[in-house]
Amino acid sequence: MIAVKDVYFTYPNGVEALSGVSLAIRDGEFIAIMGQNGAGKTTLVKHINGLLKPTKGEVAVDGVSTRKVSVAKLSRKVGFVFQNPDHQLFCETVEDEVAFALRNFGFKEQLIKKRVTWALSLLNLTRYRQTSPFMLSGGERKRVALASVLAWNPDIVILDEPTIGQDYQQKEKLRQFIVQLNTQGKTVIIVTHDVEFVAECNPHVILMAQGKIVAEGGAKETLTNRDLVTQAFIVPPQVSQIFFELSDLKLPTNVIDVYDARKVLLDRLEVSS
């Protein structure tokens, strides 16, 4: 359980990045935070793993204020993948990178080996086990960052822009894995601009603008609400745009997925023929 209570945050340079954010996230939820550049998304999620502490207000994870635990301790519970993978990669091989946190948390070598093998295979990185993370492509580096966090199986997983550099197959694999985490009762929070990925994942969506949460709701209702998407600088998913352009034909306007779209169209064509 994550409780964010009326949080304000100001960076040392005077920029107020959060202006009164309150939020409650239950165990096992899947949340996507979306919104304009500079809205405060990254700043907000950095509060959940304790990297940043509120200037005013409080953030508590499982009832404990983030001011009262060390980041090191909290990170066992809250895994965090940075927006830019270069901020978290520093080991000489991909294998060491993925094993790093596991070693820190005191896992046994044998288990570490197993977890590393598992995480590398999940993220299609097996062939890079002995490679330096700095000799990989952009998308591959992002996947090493993902692997290094997913490896220790934290209860809360925060992924800042997880789909950057990822092709469709990698995204689909990631989507399936997130679903699996949710069924295990784990909480997943992603920050993303990738509307098509959100349309396929169907998470609970939180929209931010100028340091505040402006709306939240199901992916379908938020991404097809014209006023909301405009406010949050989002372009609706392509399927939703198609149905919007056909709205005079009295088709439903809350369709965001291609298979849902096909069903609606087939129903309509059958009825009319």
Ligand X SMILES: Nc1ncnc2c1ncn2[C@@H]1O[C@H](COP(=O)(O)OP(=O)(O)OP(=O)(O)O)[C@@H](O)[C@H]1O
Nearest residue (CB) to other proteins, 102 versus 149: 149
Per-residue contact flags (x/-) with ligand X for residues 70 to 109, judged by CB under 6 A: -------------x--------------------------
In the complex, the smallest distance separating the C-beta of residue 255 from ligand X, rounded to whole angstroms, is 27
Alpha-carbon distance 30 to 261, whole Å? 23
Q: Which of 32, 42, 125, 186 binds Mg ion (CB under 5 A)?
A: 42
Q: How many CA atoms lie within 13 A of 102 on its CB side?
A: 24
Q: Which of 1, 11, 67, 109 binds ligand X (CB under 6 A)?
A: 11
**Residue 43 binds to Mg ion (criterion: CB under 5 A):** no
**Residue 40 binds to ligand X (criterion: CB under 6 A):** yes
In the complex, the smallest distance separating the C-beta of residue 249 from other proteins, rounded to whole angstroms, is 6
Q: Which of 7, 41, 123, 178 binds ligand X (CB under 6 A)?
A: 41
**Residue 86 binds to Mg ion (criterion: CB under 5 A):** no
Alpha-carbon distance 65 to 268, whole Å? 53
> Which pair of structure tokens corresponds to residue 49?
């793993």
Tokens 């969506």 belong to: 205
**Residue 57 binds to ligand X (criterion: CB under 6 A):** no
Alpha-carbon distance 198 to 201, whole Å? 5
Structural Rg of the chain based on CA atoms: 20
Q: Which residue is nearest to ligand X (CB)?
A: 139
Per DSSP, 161 falls in state S
Alpha-carbon distance 248 to 23, whole Å? 38
> Which pair of structure tokens corresponds to residue 189?
């929070």
**Residue 42 binds to ligand X (criterion: CB under 6 A):** yes
| 2 binds, options Mg ion, other proteins, ligand X, none, Cβ within 5 to 8 A by partner type | none
Torsion, CA 145, CA 147, CA 153, CA 158, rounded to 10:
40
Using CB under 6 A as the criterion, which residues of the chain lie in contact with ligand X when the complex forms?
11, 13, 15, 17, 37-43, 83, 135-140, 165
